[in-house]
Structure 1
Amino acid sequence: MATEQEFIEDGMQRTQIDEFFADELARAGYGGMDLAKTPMGTQIVLRAEKPGMVIGKGGKNIRKITSELEERFDLDDPQIDVQEVDEPDLNAQIVADRLGNALERGWYFRKAGHTTIDRIMDAGARGAEITLNGKVTGARSRNEKFNRGYIKHNGEPSQDIVDRGDGVAVMKLGTIGVTVKIIPPNADLPDDFRIHEDVDTESLVPEDIEGDEVEALLGEAEEPADDSEASDADEEFELGEDESDVEAAEIEEEEIVEEGVESETGAAETAPDNEIDEELSEDTEADAEAILDEMESSETSEADVDASEQPVESAAGAGLTAIDGVGDAKAEALVEAGFETVADIQDASEDDLSEAEGVGDAFAERIKAGASEVDPADVEGEN
């Protein structure tokens, strides 16, 4: 068998086993499984919210599941280890099943979605996303998303770090698919970095140095071979001092002579330099004043142009802001869609309002409810 086919069959078998556990252990709060094939047999680690229901009374249920795994999936000596989920709100599979059950019991999808994602974030998750696909309301299928925090959608971190769970809610209008993605609080993301604080080096205490190391660092001075060499070195040192004194005296005399020459020539050079500096300063001031005048004239002309280019706000749509939740941007979008007055909003349907740019189904419903509370006669700008 080709290697590619082996990988495909192994993945299909894992998926079938996972679906089998999800059906058998739905009431026990199934939270996923890990499967590893070893020479000693097949090791399966089950995560469940209620391990007691998985094991059963006297281990009856776990023995039944083990025998079915051997018969249906031809597993070699399966050994199941059941572990309890410490924080169910951080397990994506458990959360997805809970949300599906809540929708089947009649919870409104927005209330169920916001409540569930708030519980996930309160449990300490770094980020979460809930996706509902299907006929959540009405006869048309659509996609609803609820986001909190930080979530990864692609790349290796989305496969290794993000915990994903899928659930199903069977409703009268049809089936609603539930997808939950959670980044746990201890996840190490690749784009995280930490800045180390500066260390105070003055507070550090140097280590004690042993005597041998001190001698090695300092070294020992070499003693002269005999007394004659020592006396010759002293004489050379004294001669060196006398020669250095003579050289220092000659350098001082040369510096005094140079200072006298500079003082004689400096008086003649400074006078023309001062006149040149005064002429340059006068020219610079004149140029600066001319530049300032040009800048002021250009600023006034630009201000006039900006004032002339500002558009005059039209009266159309001004009365729409009287509706609760409608600002200037939404009012402009409604006017562009053809709803210029509150009366137009009241006469239109929610589907017509949702076709305006930036206006969804939820906001259209809100605008419709707010417009019913506004009297068009009281709104300034309407007839």
Structure 2
Amino acid sequence: MGQKVSPIGLRVGVIRDWESRWYADKDYADLLLEDVKIREFLFKELKAASVSRIEIERSKNRVEVIIRSARPGVIIGTNGEAVEVIKKKLVKLTNGKNVFIKVVEIANPDLDARIVARSIADQLEQRASFRTAQKRAIQKTMRSGAKGIKTSVSGRLGGADIARSEGYSEGVVPLHTLRADIDYAHEEASTTYGRLGVKVWICRGEVLPGQMVQEPEAPKQPANDRRRRNNNRRPNNGDRRPNNNNAKAAPVKEAETAAPAVEGGK
């Protein structure tokens, strides 16, 4: 049987950049293990924040952690209190190094494979139908502008005695095209019948030769953006509609005022 290679690892160095960017000579193994511990801690600590990727950059005694999340407010907390607690734990985890945390909001979470896979897994843990969860995720992702998506759920589906896999796909997902921007993620759902594995492949288009995939960031909204949006909203059913009779009557009044001038001329 043929085996599938990871779409992300296959494209690293071609159209995707490394998630850990640093250089080490003798301490390579220790720093690599430290990166693994940092990611395990953050994914477990920030499970409710819909974290997609964690990038780590190092220079001497400095560690910069870039967290890409769909809910940055959960990470930052009120007045930045939550992120300070996480920072102190990371300093302890890295043996007293200077840790800097940067939180980046994801522009479109529906095009992120990890967030979509986590959403399907959460629905399975709430005893939703695995078919309905996959079809709903596919429709939502394709509506957001994806070129194609493929999902797969494996395990004791529906409490069956024999484990099996069942998946759905829509659009195009060219796994062998290296210039195709394909995002892949794997998540697990803990149910009463055991664990279910969820896999998601999302094709977001193609990248031109010589370019790298750039993760789009969500634009920062001003504080008064909500008020401006409410002023420009469309009228609802209960709103009073403007009366257009006055606009139609305006030319008639002009004609009436112009009539006496003509009579005076006679």
**TM-score with structure 2 length normalisation?**
0.62
Aligned residue for 1:125, secondary structure, equals coil
Separation in structure 1 between the aligned mates of residue 165 and residue 131 of structure 2, nearest angstrom? 12
Q: Is the 8 A contact 1:18 1:32 kept in 2?
A: no
Q: Is the 8 A contact 2:38 2:93 kept in 1?
A: no
Q: Is the 8 A contact 2:148 2:171 kept in 1?
A: yes
1:177-235 C-alpha deviation (Å, 9 max, x unpaired): 112222224x3166xxxxxxxxxxxxxxxxxxxxxxxxxxxxxxxxxxxxxxxxxxxxx
Separation in structure 2 between the aligned mates of residue 68 and residue 157 of structure 1, nearest angstrom? 39
Task: Choose the corresponding residue for 1:188, options 191, 207, 222.
Answer: 207
Correspondence for 1:106: 127
Are residues 9 and 56 of structure 1, via their aligned partners in 2, closer, same or farther at CA, if it must alter by over 3 Å?
same
Separation in structure 2 between the aligned mates of residue 110 and residue 176 of structure 1, nearest angstrom? 13
Separation in structure 2 between the aligned mates of residue 148 and residue 114 of structure 1, nearest angstrom? 10
Are residues 40 and 116 of structure 1, via their aligned partners in 2, closer, same or farther at CA, if it must alter by over 3 Å?
same
Correspondence for 1:29: 50
Q: Is the 8 A contact 2:179 2:207 kept in 1?
A: no
Correspondence for 1:123: 144
Runs of at least 5 residues in structure 1 that lack an aligned partner in the other structure: 191-383
Separation in structure 1 between the aligned mates of residue 139 and residue 25 of structure 2, nearest angstrom? 42
Deviation of 1:16 after TM superposition, in Å, equals 2.9
Deviation of 1:71 after TM superposition, in Å, equals 1.3
Matched, 1:173 2:193: yes
1:10-34 C-alpha deviation (Å, 9 max, x unpaired): 4443333222222111112212211
Query: Greater shift after overlay, 106-115 or 124-133?
Result: 124-133
Task: Choose the corresponding residue for 2:175, options 153, 166, 184.
Answer: 153
Q: Is the 8 A contact 1:162 1:184 kept in 2?
A: yes
Aligned residue for 2:188, secondary structure, equals strand
Q: Is the 8 A contact 1:96 1:180 kept in 2?
A: yes
Q: Is the 8 A contact 2:110 2:140 kept in 1?
A: yes
1:247-277 C-alpha deviation (Å, 9 max, x unpaired): xxxxxxxxxxxxxxxxxxxxxxxxxxxxxxx
Are residues 152 and 189 of structure 1, via their aligned partners in 2, closer, same or farther at CA, if it must alter by over 3 Å?
farther
Separation in structure 2 between the aligned mates of residue 181 and residue 7 of structure 1, nearest angstrom? 31
Aligned residue for 1:27, secondary structure, equals helix
Give the total of aligned pairs.
185
Runs of at least 5 residues in structure 2 that lack an aligned partner in the other structure: 1-23, 210-266
Aligned residue for 1:124, secondary structure, equals coil
Separation in structure 2 between the aligned mates of residue 155 and residue 11 of structure 1, nearest angstrom? 30
1:327-359 C-alpha deviation (Å, 9 max, x unpaired): xxxxxxxxxxxxxxxxxxxxxxxxxxxxxxxxx
Q: Is the 8 A contact 1:128 1:147 kept in 2?
A: yes
Aligned residue for 1:164, secondary structure, equals strand
Are residues 53 and 8 of structure 1, via their aligned partners in 2, closer, same or farther at CA, if it must alter by over 3 Å?
same
Deviation of 1:113 after TM superposition, in Å, equals 0.7
Aligned residue for 2:49, secondary structure, equals coil
Q: Which has the higher contact order (CA 8 A, sep 6+)?
A: 2
Query: Greater shift after overlay, 89-98 or 14-23?
Result: 14-23
Aligned residue for 1:64, secondary structure, equals helix
Q: Is the 8 A contact 1:42 1:75 kept in 2?
A: no
RMSD (CA atoms): 2.5
Q: Which one has the bigger strand percentage?
A: 2
**TM-score with structure 1 length normalisation?**
0.44
Deviation of 1:153 after TM superposition, in Å, equals 3.2
Deviation of 1:172 after TM superposition, in Å, equals 0.7
Separation in structure 2 between the aligned mates of residue 5 and residue 142 of structure 1, nearest angstrom? 45
Q: Tell me which structure has the larger Cα radius of gyration.
A: 1
Paired residues for 1:346-357 under 5 Å: none
Aligned residue for 2:162, secondary structure, equals coil
Q: Which one has the bigger helix percentage?
A: 1
Aligned residue for 2:167, secondary structure, equals strand
Q: Is the 8 A contact 2:51 2:69 kept in 1?
A: yes
Separation in structure 1 between the aligned mates of residue 27 and residue 183 of structure 2, nearest angstrom? 26
Q: What percent of counterpart residues are identical? A: 25
Aligned residue for 1:184, secondary structure, equals strand
